[in-house]
A and B are shown apart, each in its own frame.
Chain A
């Protein structure tokens, strides 16, 4: 079974631009969560989508948004990029068979904002 895939793996953007990251969950998984990982703040939860609906949201500004498609693939978008948005963005998927809270992580997208 293929794991969680994220594209692109690396991205360089300029302040003020916007960016879209993509995540394909494990086949059959309907929940996709996004996390931001930085050296200063560590791993922080952004949001979770389940069956195309946002089920949970972390404490991030409205510049961070996401969506999920009918095939469970998810995208997250960051508008008006700031230097502080430079981070590793991790996507995780989970299915009912895995048990509560058990998530499978992708390799992440490394975003650098200059």
Chain B
């Protein structure tokens, strides 16, 4: 089985400042990794994914994440945040069997302060 730990439940950051949201995972098998964003009263939207290849993954809205196998981490970063980035962010993993069951972390609430 897999599990995901998001180390920060809330992250406040000033507008135009950089941000890093941390994610660590645990798994006995190889996994795929994802970051999703959830805006209020909406479903989840995929930000980016790591399947294989380059460990630096770029996603939508200027976000990027780096897969670190030795540290079992997949931290999400953005060099300059906007007010519109205020949302809940979820890190998720799935195994590589082709099944679509995602294991999610508990989420990080990002609040961008004007």
Chain A residues with a Cβ under 8 A of chain B: 4, 31, 33, 35, 42-45, 48, 50, 55-56, 58, 90, 92, 94, 99-108
Contacts and interface: CB of A to CB of B under 8 A. Distances in A.
Contacts of B102: 33, 35, 43, 45, 101, 103
Q: Is the interface of A mostly helix, strand, loop or mixed?
A: strand
Contact of A48 (B36, B42, B99): B99
B67 interface: no
A89 B36 CA distance: 16
Contact of B34 (A58, A90, A101): A101
Given A103-B46, A105-B44, A106-B43, A42 B106 contact: yes
B93 to A, nearest CB: 8
A33 B43 contact: no
Contact of A107 (B41, B92, B99, B103): B41
Contact of A45 (B43, B103, B106, B107): B103
B54 interface: no
Interface in B34-49: 34, 36, 41-46, 49
Contacts of B53: none
Contacts of B98: 100
Interface residues of B, number: 25
29 contacts: A4-B43, A31-B100, A33-B101, A42-B107, A43-B90, A43-B102, A43-B104, A43-B107, A45-B101, A45-B102, A56-B101, A58-B101, A90-B43, A92-B43, A94-B100, A100-B32, A100-B94, A100-B98, A101-B32, A101-B100, A101-B102, A102-B34, A102-B46, A102-B49, A103-B46, A103-B100, A103-B102, A105-B36, A107-B41
A50 B100 CA distance: 10
Closest 3 CB pairs of A and B: A105-B43, A43-B104, A101-B94
Contacts of B44: 90, 92, 105
Nearest to B103: A45
> Which of B36, B101, B106, B107 counts the most A-chain CB atoms under 10 A from its CB?
B101
B43 to A, nearest CB: 4
